[in-house]
Each structure stands twice: as structure tokens, then as C-alpha cells.
Amino acid sequence: MKSLLLSILALLTACSPVTSQVISEDQKWSERMALSIMERNPDPVYMDFRDEPKWEYTFGLVLKSIEKVWKATGDDQYLEYIDAYYDFMIEEDGTIKKYDITNFNIDRIAPGRPLFALYDETGKEKYKDAIEQLRYHLKYQPRNHLGGFWHKHRYQWQMWLDGAYMGAPFYAEYNQRNGDYESFDDVALQLKLMFEYMRDPGTGLLYHGWDQSKTQSWANPETGLSPNFWGRAMGWYAMAIVDVLDYFPENHPQHDDLTIILEELVEALEKYQDEESGVWYQVVDQGDREGNYLEASASIMFTYAIKKGANEGYLDESYHDFAEEAFQGILDEFIEVDEDGLVSINHACAVAGLGGDPYRDGTYEYYVNERIQVNDTKATGPFIKLSLEMDR
């Protein structure tokens, strides 16, 4: 009987994606956050406060970030954690659980980003099959009259800044790996349309959404734009640019266009950084308005894009110091470490969108009253990415 119990215990231990972690102040912030995520979520399938599995962009965001920690450290526990999610979510024939292509939701592309490295490392054909399904999805994603991807089939004619990150980096890496040089034009188009039609010429900031049909209640009847500058929306967009440039051919005529967009966006964001804390507000341009608050995910995303832009030479070297100051602000304003070394991030907006049911009108009051969450994946994942850039 004792032998049987020991065998069962050994089996359960082997099946667990991660065991209890020792987290030390001597480790880098990227490792400390990755280990904290894994400690709080031993089974990655139920990460992101989920009580059931889901094929969701938040998993791709965090697991892609942890993939970078794996590559930086060579520690296979990170790879095993990533693989545990995808091995569960993808059937042997390549079918993706909880994924319905007919919804044409651009968010459902983003979870596919870690599959490239996973296929390289494991050779599991089902991962390659899933990658091809997601590329097929992009081929038929509905578009507006200028060629911009709708955010979802149910959100007709709408482009959201969020969608830049959801689709473009996967699309760009697929093109690079498959030698599809011509499709980089389409990747650039998605980002350039947003900059052209969603940017406010006065502030240089970008509005959250654009309804080309101008039929949504939240849309300006003349421009089709939503009424406010939501921080994380611009954070998604900024991260999309620097991540897309990882795969974009330097000799491609659109490459320099994207770096110019990054420069102009960062110049605009710099003007709205809170001088005292070094971070940014939920509604970026209204820091002195009642109800607004310093928000973690946008601040982290902005700083990541700035630091990576400086590291890669897309931005002036002066932005290294700027990013250092912002990173210190993030540590001071949002980061807590408990007695066991677990790292937490406070003051992250849980979710915000436009339209839907109940209807989200994009007003100032809507954004500042959405739920605030501790250790939201939209903050923890980008914090890992930012920390790795700070270490370069």
C-alpha cells in the first residue's frame, strides 16, 4: 500500500506544471514576477482568474513574456509551464479548444504567439497546425473599406487600438518565418490606418476606437472616433509597434514609417507623464480630473515600448534615462513584495471596451469606474517584458 501511495504521489508531482517556488531579492524582476505568476497559478490553464479554460489573449500575453524569461535564463521550468497550457488547449489534430473562427475576434489571434517557439522546441505538429489555423483566420478577418481589420465580427466597421497588439505581432512573425515579404505591407497597413485615423492632431494621442460607419452611439458623428484617450489602448498600440519591428525587414519601405510613428507617439505620451510619480493616468490627458487614477498596465506598456525603442535604436538615446525614471515610478507606485517574495502589481484596470451589452459608451465616467484589479495579466505580462528590457 505504501508503495502504491508513493507511486501516486510521484505521478501527481510529475503532472503538475510547477512546484512551490523560492523567490529571492537577488533574482531579476523578470524572474521574480514570472515565478510569482507560476506560484499563484500552478496550472496555467486557470490563470487570469479563470474558473474554466479559455483561448484568450491574456494567456498569450503572459506566456509569451515567460517565454522570454526562459530564453534569457535557459531554465526549462518556464518552458514546461508554457507547454502545459498549450498542450491542454490544442488537440492532437490541431483543433483549438474554446476557439470559434466564425466569431472573427482579433483577440483570438494573440494566444498563438508562443506557438512558434514551442513548435521549434517540441516539434509537436499540432502546434504548427494551430498556427496555420490562426493565419487562415487572418486571411478572412472582416475589414473596413480601407483594409483595416474589424475588431470582431460583431463589432462591424470598428478598429480598436487593442487589436493592433492582438493581430499584428503574430502576423509579422508568421510572415518572417514563411518568407512572405509582401504581407508585411498588410501588417503595416493595420498600424498606419490607426495612426492616420485615430490620432488627435492637437495632443498627438490616439483615441481608443474608430467606427468607420459612424453608427455607434460612442462614435463622433463626424469622425467616428470614441471620445477619450484610454491609457491601455495606447499601451497595446505602442507594444504592437516595437514587437512587430522585431520581425519587420529593415529594408522594407514601411519599416521607417513604423519607427516614425513610434517616435511621434512617445513624444505625445511624454507630455502627459505625471511629473511627481513618473507614471501615467487611466485617462491619459485628464490627470487632474476627479476620479482619475494612476494606472499600472498603461504605465508599464508605455515604458516597455520606450525602453525597447531606445534599446533597438528606434528612439533617441535620451529615452534610456526617461525609461529608467518611469520604471522607478512603476516600482514605487504599483509594486508590492510580500514576506514570501511574491511580487504583486496594484492599480490595474481589469477591462475596458466599447459597445456590447451592457453598452460601454467610452465616456470619462465609464473608464474611471471600471473595476481595478491586483495582479491583472495585462500588467504582470508586460512587467516581465519591461524588466527584461531594463536588464539589457
Which of the residues are catalytic?
162
Burial class (CB in 10 A: 0-12, 13-18, 19+), 180: middle
Cis peptide before 358 (omega within 30 of 0): yes
- Put residue 282 in one of left, alpha, beta given phi > 0 → left and psi -120 to 50 → alpha: alpha
Cα distance between residue 86 and residue 363, in whole Å? 37
Cα distance between residue 275 and residue 117, in whole Å? 40
CB 62 within 8 A of CB 47: yes
CB 110 within 8 A of CB 165: yes
Burial class (CB in 10 A: 0-12, 13-18, 19+), 82: buried
Cell of 205: 494621442
Q: Return the SS3 of 293.
A: coil
For residue 120, what is the DSSP state? H
Count the neighbouring beta carbons within 10 Å of the beta carbon of residue 45.
Answer: 18
